[in-house]
Structure 1
Amino acid sequence: MKRLMGLCLCLLGVFGTCATMAATVRLAYNPRTVDALKIVDAPYSSYCALRRCASNEGSQTLFKYDRTVTLGTPDTSRHFSMQMPGQRTLRLTSGSASVELKVEMFALHLRPYPSAQTGMGANPFQGNMAAGCNQDYYYLGSNYLGVIWKPNSAENTSHCRIDTASMAYRTWTADVEAGPAYRLSIAGYPRLPAGVYTGSLVYHVTNGAGPDFDVGRNSSVHDYSFTLNFEMTVERDLQAGFTEPVDTLELLPAGGWDSWAPGSRPPVLRARAPFSVTTNAPFRVSYRCATLADDGRCALGTFSNHTRAPFTITLNWDNAPPLAPGYPAEGQPNGQGRTFGYAASMGRYPGVFNFVMDDSSPLFTARGKQWSGDVTVVFDTQL
């Protein structure tokens, strides 16, 4: 999740034919953030080092080849060219959960190093881009060139070529480093169960007949491929809240105090606090009471009376999430209340806290006083 890793190059001599190469792209995903999908701590990359990339974009020098082209000829097969692949889609999986990741190669950073015989004279990048791409960047160093090509559409296969037919006749040879820049996206940014999702894409680099990167004739590349391995960590996402105001709850008899006949037996008092939880991972619900009765139950109290009026708290669900191992339906004691654990991986769960005082007689030991007690409810994913 921290960086592009495992970049392995197999070279014959300085530039030659290799079989395969692989790089691992680690991502973080949380659809509730501004940057829903982002590459985490990507290292130095050839394109992004020159052009600021978005959080879901990256690049790397992924393949090298040598190429001989001819300036001043109408034969377009001898012009400097590059085919770039269109959008690819792969399915990332984590257990039974999956999501489609779209990969677009939206730019290409080329660093040609002309051979000693060719020298640093006229070069094909001084020609005109013929079709398919735009030349976004050009740099002439002491012994190498630097250019960036961008396809007109990253969704479709692009054929990029520099037209050098009108230039003076010359044969030009260079060793080339190619760093494709890729953009990653997920359609609709759905809610997903938390976990690590993995998948791979293989790109082929050929010299005249490939579906992906085609570097043209008279090059050293032969059926060379590289693999992009993706590891996407879907972060835990818990949304919980009360659906009615709960800053202050009143314990009341059925029908309110007006329905209670003075002089009759003190009534049962009740209050309720409905809530809703939406989660993509196992979660806990805890309550803790600031005031406790002698028997450990939550209680109300006053500043002027040491008497406590205990009440009970129960948690009820409309559609109960599955219990987490080690957590009974009635929860675990936590010293000041109870903690409930649930193994839900994805879903919305409405519920309600019910507060019940079966015996309200302690309240009448301090008539005219305000009885109160604080209850703290916590929702978390720390299972």
Structure 2
Amino acid sequence: MFLKNYVPQWQQCGQWLGLLTMFAAPAAGAVTQEIRALFTPDSANPQRNEFLNKTPSSGYCEYYPDICRNSNTFSIRLLTRLDSNKAIPADGSPRNSAMFKVPAQWRPLTITNEDTGDVQTVEVRISGVGSNYVLSDSAAKLTGLTNAGDGHRALWKGSSWVNAPHPCVTTGMGFYGDNTYAFFWMARGESACVKVANFQIPAMSYGYLDFAYELRTPDPLKMSSGLYTGSLNYRLGPGGDFDFGDIMVPNDPDLTLNFVLDVQHTLKVDIPPGGEKVNLVPAGGWQSWLQAGRKPARLFRDQTFNISASSRFKMYYECQAWSTFDCTIKDALGRRQVELQVFVSLPNGLTDPSGQPVRHRRLKSGPEGAQIFQPGFYVDRTPGVLHFEVSKEEVEWMLRQPNVASPYTGSVTVIWDSEI
């Protein structure tokens, strides 16, 4: 769509922008731009395991946020200025015309967690490009026509710059003044998009550089909490990553994108009130033993807990008293002890590293025996179960001792640890 109704406003604005960039261009030096993304689990949408781009949009997406949001595209405006180093000829070759070639294919870069050293890969591609061209004279004078609109259309093959040259695709954006034209095109592949002039243009400049980009980020559920950083460097100018042909030359040939991905995981475990005291009993209670002399097969207690987890974590436990391999509970005099086993069942969405569900999985004591579990999606206040057991063999041994009624006690500290 050509927005001709906006001509008077943009005529003034385009000329002012041209003067601004002509006299206030920054000194040459590497241009850096930070791109920041954040992951925090969302209880309202636990299946969404994605980063949110937190980089403020400037340029095209600042003015067309809905279009960019629907295509998961973001844009940045750089104050990089490009000027012609000679006249643009009529019917010139691609490199002697108005040419745009951008790195539109996916490019990987390594990001590293500053605290843990964990390394991940981000991919980025440039998906659009735009600017505001400023001619050395009005489009009408350069073409011999009577008004700006006709002049801009006649100046270039394929009409004005609202019409993107193949393989670029129009966005419908095209605003002009007497000697200015603001445009934005979507890039499709890394082939050059070229506008060839129908008339010689003594001089031309681009007052700024807009580009749109897309990101592919790692699965945040497989990343450690903390800041991941990395950089990607581009060269601007003839033969560079951003290539504008041989006539249009940038005032700064270097662009560095600094990426900062912030991962803020949740790991929280809630034990119901009173759940810290665990009484081990046989199935059905002690009545079968007391009244009929039936030996219990085992002593056990299942204790529920609620877990919220968006990251990998490890589980193990520490003991008040130890046997050769595991925790023990002792009788009232501390002379006899039996082994206590601890198991865990985790809710759907939490698995072991091989992707298997965790059902009555035996835990081990000490950090060296820690087992790692991971989420497939954000688990929010979902119940799991700790299983405490004294095995049949240990119960039989207890019942063979004198003063069988003596209570056995001890403490176990179960640990959920996100530091892996």
Match of 2:182 among 126, 138, 146: 146
Number of the residue aligned with 1:204: 235
Number of the residue aligned with 1:84: 102
Number of the residue aligned with 2:63: 50
Gaps in structure 1 of 5+ consecutive residues:
1-10, 287-312, 330-341, 362-376
The 3 A distance-change label for structure 1 pair 16 and 270 is closer
Number of the residue aligned with 2:256: 227
Amino acid at match of 2:168: C
The 3 A distance-change label for structure 1 pair 69 and 258 is farther
Number of the residue aligned with 1:181: 212
Number of the residue aligned with 2:8: none
Q: What CA distance in whole angstroms lies between the structure 2 residues aligned with 1:152 and 1:220?
A: 23
Task: Map 1:226-305; keep pairs closer than 5 Å.
Answer: 226-238=255-267, 252-254=281-283, 259-262=288-291, 270-273=300-303, 280=311
The 3 A distance-change label for structure 1 pair 229 and 16 is closer
Amino acid at match of 2:301: A
Number of the residue aligned with 1:37: 51
Q: What CA distance in whole angstroms lies between the structure 1 residues aligned with 2:244 and 2:26?
A: 14
Q: Look up the SS of the partner of 1:213 in the other structure.
A: coil
Match of 1:113 among 134, 144, 149: 134
The answer to whether the 8 Å contact 2:49/2:221 transfers is no
Number of the residue aligned with 1:158: 191
- Is 1:59–2:71 an aligned residue pair? no
Q: What CA distance in whole angstroms lies between the structure 2 residues aligned with 1:380 and 1:27?
A: 25
Any idea what the Cα deviations from partners look like across 1:17-39, whole Å, max 9, x if unmatched? 62201111111135855360211
Any idea what the Cα deviations from partners look like across 1:141-168, whole Å, max 9, x if unmatched? 4363221111123xxx23111244xx35
Offset of 1:54 from its aligned partner? 3.4
Gaps in structure 2 of 5+ consecutive residues:
1-20, 141-147, 318-339, 345-361, 376-383, 391-397, 406-413
Amino acid at match of 1:160: C
Number of the residue aligned with 2:32: 22
Report which of the two has the higher share of strand: 1
Amino acid at match of 2:74: G
Q: What CA distance in whole angstroms lies between the structure 2 residues aligned with 1:134 and 1:163?
A: 16
- Is 1:213–2:213 an aligned residue pair? no
Aligned-residue Cα RMSD (Å) equals 4.9
The 3 A distance-change label for structure 1 pair 233 and 314 is farther
Any idea what the Cα deviations from partners look like across 1:206-263, whole Å, max 9, x if unmatched? 1x222x1012222232661111111101221448799xxx9xx997524766743527
Amino acid at match of 1:110: S
The answer to whether the 8 Å contact 2:101/2:243 transfers is yes
Q: Which has the higher contact order (CA 8 A, sep 6+)?
A: 2
Offset of 1:111 from its aligned partner? 2.0
The answer to whether the 8 Å contact 1:16/1:220 transfers is no
The answer to whether the 8 Å contact 2:300/2:387 transfers is no
Q: Look up the SS of the partner of 2:95 in the other structure.
A: helix
The answer to whether the 8 Å contact 1:284/1:381 transfers is no
Q: What CA distance in whole angstroms lies between the structure 1 residues aligned with 2:106 and 2:183?
A: 22
Offset of 1:129 from its aligned partner? 4.2
TM-score, scaled to structure 1? 0.61
Percent pairwise identity: 20
Q: Look up the SS of the partner of 2:81 in the other structure.
A: strand
Q: Across the two proteins, how many residue pairs are aligned to each other?
A: 302
Q: What CA distance in whole angstroms lies between the structure 2 residues aligned with 1:322 and 1:90?
A: 38
Number of the residue aligned with 2:351: none
Offset of 1:50 from its aligned partner? 2.8
Offset of 1:131 from its aligned partner? 2.8
Any idea what the Cα deviations from partners look like across 1:76-130, whole Å, max 9, x if unmatched? 3332111101321101111331111000111113222334566754254616644
Q: What CA distance in whole angstroms lies between the structure 2 residues aligned with 1:190 and 1:352?
A: 24
Amino acid at match of 2:134: Y
